[in-house]
Amino acid sequence: MNPRPPISRRAAVTGAAATAALLPLAVAPAARAATAAPAAARAETATAPAFLHGVASGDPLPDGILLWTRVTPVPEAVPGSGLGPAVQVSWQVAEDAGFGRVVASGTVTASAAGDHTVKADVRGLRPGTDYFFRFTVTGGPDTGGSAEVHSPTGRTRTAPAPDAQADGLRFGVVSCANWESGHFSAYRHLAARRDLDAVLHLGDYLYEYKSGEYPAAKYVVRPHEPRHEIVTLADYRTRHGRYKTDPDLQALHAALPFVAIWDDHEFADNAWSGGAVNHTPGAEGTWADRVAAAKKAYFEWMPVRPSIEGTTYRRLRFGRLADLHLLDLRSFRSEQVKAGSGAVDDPSRTLTGRAQLDWLKDGLAASDTTWRLVGNPVMMSPLAFGAMPAHLLKPLAKLLGLPEEGIAANTDQWDGYTHDRRELLGHLTGHGIRNTVFLTGDIHMAWANDVPETAATYPVSRSVATEFVVTSVTADNLDDTLHVLPHTVSLPAVAAIKAANRHVKWVDMDSHGYGVLDITAERAQMDYYVLSDKRDPKATSSWERSYRTLSGSQRVERVKAPVR
């Protein structure tokens, strides 16, 4: 049961003016698709500055928000081109959709040096409040140089005051959106909701592959731009620009603030601090140059406020109800080892890096909120396969020099860096830190897990945290990879996983969709939604399952209905 009416916390958005401002977000999918021609094609007929990539906001604070847009000042100034003059861009934040009550304004410069993207870090706003925002440029020569061109209107929301006893929070949760694999209908359905405070994007916002590599060419729904694998700064900028022409992605960015972190595909597949599986030194330049290009484009194109330059690990607070610790698990990690290698237990190897792990441990220990949320790009919970009884795994592994928590199936996850995981989970136990919830993406499946102190002896040994993993927006999962009907081949695999991993309460290997995380003082609940067909731009959405963890319980349990 929802402890509050679904729209009461957003009651500030009322009246005809608000309705008028939000009409672009409610346009029928077919009509929106008709207006979503690639930016380059639309720019060919543009004769004045244009906002072809929408608007966005992100990283909400109690007194501020980060605003974003991109200006196309002249037709040839397409993303990654390096062309086009610098232009002055003004921005406004208002309490009303008609901009009759402007509360903040300013001017920034869009230039080719930043790919004509701009950000405004607005402060001085009220906590827990809905605002509207827009950008404006002066028209080009064909308008006499004086007409104003406005961006679409965006809506955003600040975080609760630091000491506020918020009655609840609700986040859309998404991950893994591959342009070539399908349409972003998950974003459309989240944009249509009026009960969310923000969207948490857990990584793989875009994919780096050449067209037809993932998925194979005959399964491509719509081609990437550029068609080749992205390696240079111009490439990454072009790919970001392509993504932000998607009408459903534009609608979601315009409707809600984003809180985003990166995973590997913002760089290259299975990225680590010194390289990636999908990077060939020499033929594709140095890894350092490629990472620098990817990070520059990311911070240009995403509404992200880096707390430490060049990383996405940072912390946001939402009153006394929750704080959100956001991780960067690519910039500092050691190279992945082969599956089955006992090197996953090597204490010299790291996933987080020393500084980030200490920062996370200190933040979790110092937190005075009810819930400690961790935005976590790769799965925390251990995952082992095999028919051997769980209590025999650890001693046998020690004798054979194998991973102590079972044979790691995916060493790109925390399973490949067990020393970091043991240190973090030991910290939670040793300091009596409760109500820690890991929010995870990456593996294109939905999971609800307890996070055991010792996997081999669970459930005799305790659970020290919980984990909700959301599936992909479009990126291929098991049935896509095998090209079989959903929920057929996967059923025995699910049964085997649950038999060997008793802390796994549920897994869906075949669906695409999103999650909605609802938090109150009493519980944190994830509602899982699935799409009818990722290849259909008009795909419908339906509730599949819900799991929650009660305050103090450290375990997940199934719930019969989503939060209303």
Pairing of strands 130-138, 148-150: antiparallel
Helix (H, G, I), strand (E, B) or coil at 50: strand
Strand-strand pairing, 371-376 and 322-326: parallel
Q: Based on the domain organization, do 176 and 316 belong to the same domain?
A: yes
Averaged pLDDT, 246-272: 98
In the chain, the percentage of residues whose pLDDT exceeds 70 is 86
- pLDDT computed for residue 34 by the predictor: 32
- Both 444 and 483 in one domain: the answer is yes
pLDDT of the residue at 402: 46
pLDDT at 342: 80
**Domain for residue 77, yes or no?**
yes
User: How many distinct structural domains can be found in the chain?
Assistant: 2
Which residues neighbour 244 within 8 Å (Cβ) at sequence distance 6 or greater? Answer: 39, 53, 54, 70, 250, 253, 301
- 274: CB partners within 8 A, 6+ apart: 287, 335
Q: Among the three residues 110, 128, 157, which one is the final residue of a domain in this structure? A: 157
CB 171 within 8 A of CB 200: yes
> pLDDT tens digits for 171-217?
999 999 999 999 999 999 999 999 999 999 999 999 999 999 999 99
Q: 354 and 211, same structural domain?
A: yes
Which is more confident, 170 or 21? 170
Do 114 and 224 share a structural domain? no
Q: Are residues 142 and 180 in the same domain?
A: no
Query: Is the model's pLDDT at 415 over the cut of 90?
Result: yes
Give the residue-averaged pLDDT of 150-170: 97
* Edge-to-edge order in the sheet of strand 463-469: 314-318, 322-326, 371-376, 436-440, 463-469, 446-452, 504-508
Locate 56 and state its tokens: 């966005």
Q: Is the pLDDT of residue 145 over 90?
A: no
Asked if pLDDT for residue 18 goes beyond 70, the answer is no
Flag whether pLDDT at 4 surpasses 80.
Answer: no
Q: Are residues 432 and 498 in the same domain?
A: yes
- Cβ atoms within 10 Å, residue 231: 20
Residue 530 lies in a domain: yes
Q: Would you state the pLDDT for residue 250?
A: 98
pLDDT tens per residue, range 62-102: 999 999 999 999 999 999 999 999 999 999 999 999 999 99
478: number of Cβ within 10 Å: 19
pTM: 0.89
Say whether both 277 and 347 belong to one domain. yes
CB atoms within 10 A of CB 83: 13
Predicted local confidence at residue 177, as pLDDT: 98
Average pLDDT over residues 33-56: 62
Place of tokens 């995870």: 440
- The model's confidence at residue 428, banded by pLDDT at 50, 70 and 90, is very high
Whether the per-residue pLDDT at 247 is higher than 50: the answer is: yes
Q: Which of 258, 270, 373 lies closest to 324, judged by CA?
A: 373
C-alpha–C-alpha distance, residues 202 and 273, integer Å: 19
The arithmetic mean of pLDDT across residues 132-139, rounded, is 93
Please, how many CA atoms are within 13 Å of residue 262, restricted to the half-sphere of its CB? 31
Please tell me which residue, 435 or 402, carries the higher pLDDT value. 435
d(CA 468, CA 450): 9
380-394, 415-429, 501-515, 546-560: which range is least confident on average?
Answer: 380-394
**Do 533 and 410 sit in the same domain of this protein?**
yes
Query: How many other C-beta atoms can be found within 10 angstroms of the C-beta atom of residue 6?
Result: 13
Question: What's the CA angle centered on 304, arms 299 and 305, to 5 degrees?
Answer: 100
Beta strand ranges found along 407-521 (DSSP E): 436-440, 446-452, 463-469, 504-508, 513-519
Q: What is the extent of the structural domain holding 311?
A: 169-559
For residues 174 and 398, which has the higher predicted lDDT (pLDDT)?
174
The whole-angstrom separation of Cα 512 and Cα 475 is 8
Average pLDDT for 434-449:
97
Residues 131 and 237 in one domain: no
- Helix (H) / strand (E) element for 122: namely strand 117-122
Of 135, 157, 179, the residue at which a domain comes to its end is 157
Contact call for residues 352 and 420 (beta carbons, < 8 A): yes
Predicted local confidence at residue 371, as pLDDT:
98
Q: What percent of the chain is predicted at pLDDT more than 90? A: 78
| 258 and 144 in a common domain | no
Residue 1 lies in a domain: no
The pLDDT of residue 124: 98
Give the model's pLDDT for residue 340.
74
Please report the pLDDT score of residue 394 as a whole number.
57
Tell me what the pLDDT averaged over the chain comes to: 89
Cα→Cα distances 411→357, 382, 438, Å? 19, 10, 18
Asked whether residue 162 is assigned to any structural domain, the reply reads: no
Whether 2 is covered by a domain: the verdict is no
> What separation in angstroms does the CA of 138 have from each of 41, 56, 121, 146, 517?
22, 20, 22, 6, 41
CATH number of the domain bearing residue 405: 3.60.21.70
Segment 534-539 mean pLDDT: 98
pLDDT of residue 493: 85
In a domain, 176, yes or no: yes
Of 254 and 309, more confident: 254
pLDDT band of residue 521 (cuts 50, 70, 90) is very high
Which amino acid is residue 179, in one-letter code? W
24 pLDDT above the threshold of 50: no
Whether 484 maps to a domain, the answer reads yes
From 127, 157, 187, the end of a domain falls on 157
Determine the pLDDT at residue 395.
53
Paired residues of 532 in beta bridges: none
Within its chain, how far is the Cα of 58 from the centroid? 12
pLDDT classification of 5: cutoffs 50, 70, 90 = very low
Do 403 and 455 have their domain in common? Answer: yes
What does the pLDDT read at residue 457? 87
Could you say which DSSP state residue 163 is in? T
Q: Is 554 inside any structural domain? A: yes
Three-class secondary structure of residue 466 per DSSP: strand
245, pLDDT greater than 90: yes
Please tell me whether residues 199 and 132 are part of one structural domain: no
pLDDT in tens, 283-305: 999 999 999 999 999 999 999 99
Over 60: is that where the pLDDT of 1 sits?
A: no
CATH classification at residue 143: 2.60.40.380
